[in-house]
Amino acid sequence: MPRKSLQNIAPGLMNLLAYERSWLKPDIRAGLSVAAVALPVAIAYAELAGVSAIVGLYSCILPMIAYAIFGSSRQLIVGPDAATCAVIAAVVTPLAAGHTELHWQLTIVMTLMMGTWCLIASRFKLGAIADLLSRPILNGLLNGVALTIIVNQISKVFGYASPSSELIERIYALPTNLLNSHWPTMAISLLTLLILLGVHYARPNWPAPLFAVVLTTALTWAANLPHFGIATVGGYTGGSLPMVTWPNFKPGLLRDLVIPALNLAVVSFVSMMLTTRSFAAKNGYEVDADSEFRALGLVNIVSGLSQGFAISGANSRTAVNDANGGKSQLVSIIAALAIAVVVAFFSEPLQFIPIAVLGVVLIYASWSLLDMRSIFRLRKRNRSAFYLALFTFLSVLLVGIIPGIGLAVLLGLLQFLQTVFRPTEQLLGVNADGMIHSMGKSNEIKPVDGVIMYRFNSPLTYFNVAYFKRRITSLVDGSSLQPRWVVIDAVASFTHADISVLAAIEELKRDLQQRGISLVLAGRRTELTRWFRVDRASGKDRGLILVPDLYLALKLIQSKESKAEAS
């Protein structure tokens, strides 16, 4: 395979082939640190997704190796993610209706579908879709997901059965349910929290969740805590590793996963690209969005085939990698091998992990995602972005993750359309030095006598050109002095040859001619000459004048007016 093709398909492999010996020591240190953080988090997120603990580890091993080969980021660590697991649980849980095996099957199928959507998007070079979920939307989404996870884990932490799966009902019933808490479960939850906080403050660089899970699991086994009613993960008693079976799977359920898998692909890709780009910028290199889309698709297909669930870029584990000086994709391979050793030789103790401990770990991890101040900071900087982030946050809480994302994207598109439909505009003038600027109440920019210079801050298209015409005629008719020229800054608004726009400009030209006004389009002269079929030699067409820029437009006007006065 040619080197360039291999670089496009497997950039991580190309980086590994050019590996430098000096990278090995920091990569080993970073890989083991990532594994220490990834182990408890993967188990906890498996609980969040509704599958057994071992599935969370399945979702780490081969997918991390696959990203090391096909990914372009040298720092990114892929793995279970709060948002993706919450989306999976929201979609799969109602379809599975309490059937554990079916839940696992649907989770795998949704993961494979998500990977397929990513590969399709990469094939059609849709990496720009990373900008579909703007930062305000993602901000509101992550805060909504974090709060949803925290509320949903309260019943596990306090050891009571919650009859409702809906957030509002859970919050409403919380005071009553807390009275039915299970005291031994609360005790193990409190111990877990103390371990997490103690390790975090005493040794901030140590993996606090790993210590919490290992110590409480050992205590559960040694003191036989299930005898006191403390629920554990269970489900694995040694022997061969758990495997999913397919004979009873109903293919008709696939249709219910197609659109949610598409939504999941978009959310995962956007979240992953934010992490990838931030660490790439920090370390002085660039990543290609389409290549990352392909890598995300491949790692999720690998995860599905290895019986895991959907994964994305893991921000916390990527930060651990970067903080420990990881230099290459070898970090992912080392971490994956370390997790594989646990699965192969130490998986039996997983059955003794208390569910309450995983609930506390999830709340601990989700608390770092909860950043309401980031939403309210937008209120002063950008009011529309604030409303979009707050709407996304409330939508996720009130109607669920998938519908909430859909409503947020719809509102974002409506805000964009509003900007295009009714964009900002400026009247332009000149200062004492003859420089063109926007006119304002407090500056020294003055209008040019007999000239209206206008800038429309949006591409002209069929659904805003009527408004554009109305604004021009309104400015002309509302002017205290009868203008003789209307100059349009064509650079900002004439971006493509929309037939409706061209027809509307012809109508505007005729309307202005009837008022004794000439229309001048300044900028994009070559394109406009072709679009309007204007005579290239003269640069004008019965009242429509095309010039390269605003300054030449003013010079042309001054020249013509001087000739008119001389004659």
For residues 308, 313, 315, 320, the Cα torsion angle rounded to the nearest 10 degrees is 80
At 539, the pLDDT band (50, 70, 90 cuts) reads very low
In this prediction, residue 347 carries a pLDDT of: 82
Q: What is the mean pLDDT of residues 4-16?
A: 81
Residue 120 has pLDDT above 70, yes or no: yes
Q: What is the mean pLDDT of residues 258-268?
A: 90
What b/e readout covers 153-173, taking b as 16+ CB neighbours within 10 angstroms?
A: bbbbbbbbebeeeebeebeee
Residue 401 has pLDDT above 80, yes or no: no
- Sheet of 451-456: strand order equals 436-438, 425-430, 451-456, 485-489, 518-522, 544-547, 540-541
- Return the amino acid letter for 345: F
Residue 298 has pLDDT above 70, yes or no: yes
Angstrom CA distances, 378 to 136, 204, 382, 404, stand at 8, 31, 5, 20
Which CATH code fits 425-566?
3.30.750.24
258-282 vs 315-323: helix crossing angle, rounded to 10? 20
At 126, the pLDDT band (50, 70, 90 cuts) reads confident
Residue 402 has pLDDT above 80, yes or no: no
At 549, the pLDDT band (50, 70, 90 cuts) reads very high
Residue 520 has pLDDT above 70, yes or no: yes
The better pLDDT of the pair 266, 337 is held by 337
Domain assignments of the chain as residue spans, ordered by start: 24-124+157-369, 425-566
In this prediction, residue 2 carries a pLDDT of: 60
At 163, the pLDDT band (50, 70, 90 cuts) reads low
In this prediction, residue 537 carries a pLDDT of: 44
In this prediction, residue 136 carries a pLDDT of: 85
Asked whether 378 and 389 are in contact (CB, 8 A), the reply is yes
Q: What is the mean pLDDT of residues 256-278?
A: 88
Residues 6+ apart with CB under 8 A from 492: 455, 456, 457, 458, 459
Average pLDDT, the chain: 87
Q: Are strands 540-541 and 518-522 parallel, antiparallel or unpaired?
A: unpaired
152-156, 203-207, 453-457, 475-479: lowest mean pLDDT where? 203-207
Q: What is the mean pLDDT of residues 141-164?
A: 84
Q: What is the mean pLDDT of residues 188-192?
A: 94
In this prediction, residue 536 carries a pLDDT of: 41
Q: What is the mean pLDDT of residues 225-240?
A: 76
